[in-house]
Structure 1
């Protein structure tokens, strides 16, 4: 397998992720928080942190502004993740996850503020500067409210003009804009794929996204695993690792990181899906989004309900 070229993980709408651990989530009552964790967040930031843990060269790119933007900047430096920050007059948003060991986490996600055109121009220029031939640019998460659809097209075009391949994990009009821009891989979850295309089945949704211009569509189905549809309309189904419980927040981002790491090494689509499933499962075992323990990957791979585990990374890991 080839060495992985640099990945640029773009978060158009970053956040400070706050995780509240409680004994039990109870709506309408005063609930005491047992533990508070604050980390730089947003889907692209989570992808960057997991790639760094896997030993993949990665740079996290995002606009930041205000005191919460300072927290994102300081947090990435503390975590040892290389970052390029585009200054913005818009305050970076906050998201809150309320977690217990009894039910699915409750997520409270601020929408973020509208970024002015100058910030978008600097973000696109940074993609053009940082993207490398045979590398990957991953654009993950929502776009700030009021963002013109053409901005997603600009990000994809800048990456492809630099010789990078592009994966976009977004939703709504941004997902369709990425497809029409000729993105190499679209990575929505099942609900996002159905909502963006107005279809009632995943096969139809994937067909619509491929027809719109996407090269490959990889849909995350949570505990049911992942499914990929390629340009020739082949379908690949990958079940999830069985018996994994914990905090699923950010598991899809970790799966995206595993997928890109595998594709960057030249893995087959089937092997890349298996690695994505394993990396996503590892994230469920972590206490907060954007973390995986590389030491658990081999054991999880052995539990995959497929004929053979993926060739996992052997590159030196960075923390």
Structure 2
């Protein structure tokens, strides 16, 4: 079973309306609320694909209670750890043109709460085939929190898919995550280069087993021990991109668990990510669109990667 870790989950609110008018009153046509955060979205997608996952992380307060209640309604296995401070909220405002997201700061985590979570995480690892570590770190956690989690997973022979950014990402690379999935902005910030192929090689040289860069509407670029590929969706889709990257991570985690060839992993990741854009909320995807796009995803093999890259 795939273990998803969300250290900074959120209670997600999605407002839908025809058009957003800045600096004016806007009448909301529809409101949805659900448990959110990158790892929670990954678990929700996996469950929809018929692969139940474990959800763990840190939650607290009234928002945390509402988040756990939604996990129960969604039949997602709740292995969250309680903290004193209250879970944050996120608000996505989606109109016919685009989506704007407002992210509240995460709750402060005490040192004792972090140690309690680590003990719980160790207990969960023996039942995991893959661990997915996703999202930002709440205040109070050490910047190398993901490095610690990757090291514990590797000691338990559990490969890791890491979706993080900045120092949280860079500090974890020497621990050797099996796959990392930065987006284009995160890749540039981490490496100082706007060339995604070069950036991916730099992060591989720093310790990542494989790097899959999300390039938005242009799909994915992957540099792996088996080679490099570009995978593009068959067409540009308009909708709500929130959670599209999490759907790609779900596909990558499944590919790691099953061992299917990299081009097929990327084919599923691109189709699933694109189908998520057509859904109203993160963690959901248009099933018919996903299956309809699979055979139409364009896969291109890249030139062999250089033998050595220096960070």
Paired residues for 1:3-42 under 5 Å: 6-42=1-37
Q: How far apart are residue 78 of structure 1 and its match?
A: 0.6
Task: Indicate how the Cα distance of structure 1 residues 105 and 295 shifts in structure 2: closer, same or farther if over 3 A, else same.
Answer: same
Uncovered stretches (5+) of structure 1, i.e. residues with no partner: 1-5, 308-319
The residue number in structure 1 matching 2:52 is 57
User: SS of 1:108's equivalent?
Assistant: strand
Q: How far apart are residue 291 of structure 1 and its match?
A: 0.9
2:148 and 2:60 map into 1 onto residues whose CA distance is: 22
User: SS of 1:24's equivalent?
Assistant: coil
Instruction: Select the residue among 189, 194, 197 that pairs with 1:195.
Output: 189
Uncovered stretches (5+) of structure 2, i.e. residues with no partner: 301-311
Q: How far apart are residue 294 of structure 1 and its match?
A: 3.6
2:286 and 2:18 map into 1 onto residues whose CA distance is: 25
> Do the aligned partners of 2:114 and 2:141 also contact (CA within 8 Å) in 1?
no
Q: How far apart are residue 90 of structure 1 and its match?
A: 1.5
2:234 and 2:150 map into 1 onto residues whose CA distance is: 32
The residue number in structure 1 matching 2:202 is 208
2:121 and 2:143 map into 1 onto residues whose CA distance is: 17
- Tell me the matched-pair count: 300
2:183 and 2:133 map into 1 onto residues whose CA distance is: 14
> Do the aligned partners of 2:54 and 2:77 also contact (CA within 8 Å) in 1?
yes
| TM norm structure 1 | 0.90
The residue number in structure 1 matching 2:290 is 297
Q: How far apart are residue 100 of structure 1 and its match?
A: 0.7
Q: How far apart are residue 148 of structure 1 and its match?
A: 1.5
User: SS of 1:163's equivalent?
Assistant: coil
**Residue 271 (structure 1) aligned with residue 264 (structure 2):** yes
Task: Indicate how the Cα distance of structure 1 residues 132 and 227 shifts in structure 2: closer, same or farther if over 3 A, else same.
Answer: farther
Instruction: Select the residue among 153, 168, 172 that pairs with 1:159.
Output: 153
> Do the aligned partners of 2:244 and 2:274 also contact (CA within 8 Å) in 1?
yes
1:293 and 1:123 map into 2 onto residues whose CA distance is: 34
- Find runs of 4+ consecutive structure 1 residues off by over 6 angstroms: none
User: SS of 1:33's equivalent?
Assistant: coil
User: SS of 2:80's equivalent?
Assistant: strand
| TM norm structure 2 | 0.92
User: SS of 2:171's equivalent?
Assistant: helix
Query: Cα RMSD over matched residues?
Result: 1.6
Instruction: Select the residue among 85, 91, 95 that pairs with 1:90.
Output: 85
> Do the aligned partners of 1:54 and 1:294 also contact (CA within 8 Å) in 2?
no
Task: Indicate how the Cα distance of structure 1 residues 236 and 149 shifts in structure 2: closer, same or farther if over 3 A, else same.
Answer: same
